[in-house]
Copies of this chain bind each other. A is one copy, B any other.
Amino acid sequence: MKSQFFVVLMAVLLAGGVCSAQSQTIVIEDFKPSTLNQPGKEYPMVNSQGYARFRIEAPLAQSVIVGLGGRGGTQLTKGPDSVWVGTTAGPLDEGFHYYHLTIDGGVFNDPGTLNFYGSTRWESGIEIPAHDQDFYALRDVPHGFVQQILFPSPSTNTSRRAFVYTPPGYGKDGNKRYPVLYLQHGWGEDETAWSNQGRANLIMDNLIADGKIEPFIIVMTYGMTNEIRFGGLRNFDIKPFQTVLVDELIPYIDSHFNTLADQPHRAMAGLSMGGMETKTITLNKPEVFSHYALLSGGTYAPADIKDMSKVKLIFLSCGSKERPEGVKNAAVALKEVGINAVSYVSEGTAHEFLTWRRSLYELAPLLFKD
């Protein structure tokens, strides 16, 4: 329980104690509610260093553990008021984190915060403000819309859901047409991830307001990635999703939205397992997509590309806590054979959503350049 030591140390310092030469962390008591809390909820809280503090009411429970804050999570302790409280042992990385509670051996969400679909379930989320958070902030700029659509899918015999970001001003001029980015979530997530935890719409609104990109449409649907839950990754078959995406969703989007409905104006990107899907589908269907992006989702090798004239951009990214050399080296190798390849490494982040928010922010200005 490192944090208890910190608290003791702080108390000593405040009392006029002497600081030893040893490096010890002082937890600053400037905790504020996480920005993802449900309306009116104080906890969970986050301080300026990135520590998270939790408060859970379950007076008769024997054990409450927060699945966040290092191996084994953060074990809460019951106070004299019968409320469980605790602070992570160290600061968390900037950005969004999923977590859950384990209460008496059962897995539940923290009633204080909003839920986000990850790990094939709706999980609690917490936000550690990033030093560069302005790029995904809700600013006073014109906002695009996020539209929930239900498109017919004969191959799966149902209506499937997608979310479509249309930029500010979309539809005002009926003749104006836009390029489209098809943007995939990762394993365990679904079509809600990029607008909820990814804040893709706000990132786009801000880029457009700042004149950094020409507006385009983003389409986000469920990648059917979670069907492997019981089968394992090696059993994943891209065909069902490729059919939904290429044969059903894209024609629906092109007939219901003001799109530039051709290969040069169509991009595909995906994070993590959505990157694997992106790689497979773009290589299977070079006549459909011209811009490819893998966010913490692997790399392309020069030999993967059969017809280089069809590829306008390959964007590869990951967090600095992942394997940045992999994406850097892959981009170099692609450039050496004449492909327009770009790598990006998100500083100080791991396989989490701040990496992917930043990746979208870096990717968007590179898309659909003639």
Chain A interface residue count, Cβ-Cβ cutoff 8 angstroms: 47
| Complex Cα gap A240–B342 (Å) | 49
| Complex Cα gap A149–B145 (Å) | 5
Chain A 147-159 interface 0/1 with B at a Cβ cutoff of 8 Å (1 = within): 1111110000011
The answer to whether A121 and B38 touch across the interface, beta carbons within 8 angstroms, is yes
- Chain A residues 119 to 177 lying within 8 A of chain B, measured CB to CB, are 120-122, 138, 140, 143, 145-152, 158-159, 164, 171, 174
Cβ of A39 < 8 Å from any Cβ of B? yes
> A62 contacts which of B60, B109, B143, B148 (Cβ < 8 Å)?
B60
The answer to whether A61 and B149 touch across the interface, beta carbons within 8 angstroms, is no
The answer to whether B105 and A103 touch across the interface, beta carbons within 8 angstroms, is no
- Nearest residue (CB) in B for A164 is B145
The answer to whether A159 and B138 touch across the interface, beta carbons within 8 angstroms, is yes
The answer to whether A140 and B121 touch across the interface, beta carbons within 8 angstroms, is no
| Complex Cα gap A138–B161 (Å) | 11
- B contact residues around A321 at 8 Å (CB): none
Whether A103 touches B61, Cβ cut-off 8 Å, given contacts A108-B109, A115-B122, is yes
The answer to whether A147 and B150 touch across the interface, beta carbons within 8 angstroms, is no
> A107 contacts which of B111, B115, B147, B174 (Cβ < 8 Å)?
B111
Cβ of A299 < 8 Å from any Cβ of B? no
Cβ of A57 < 8 Å from any Cβ of B? yes
A210 CB to closest chain B CB, in angstroms? 17
- B contact residues around A121 at 8 Å (CB): 38, 111
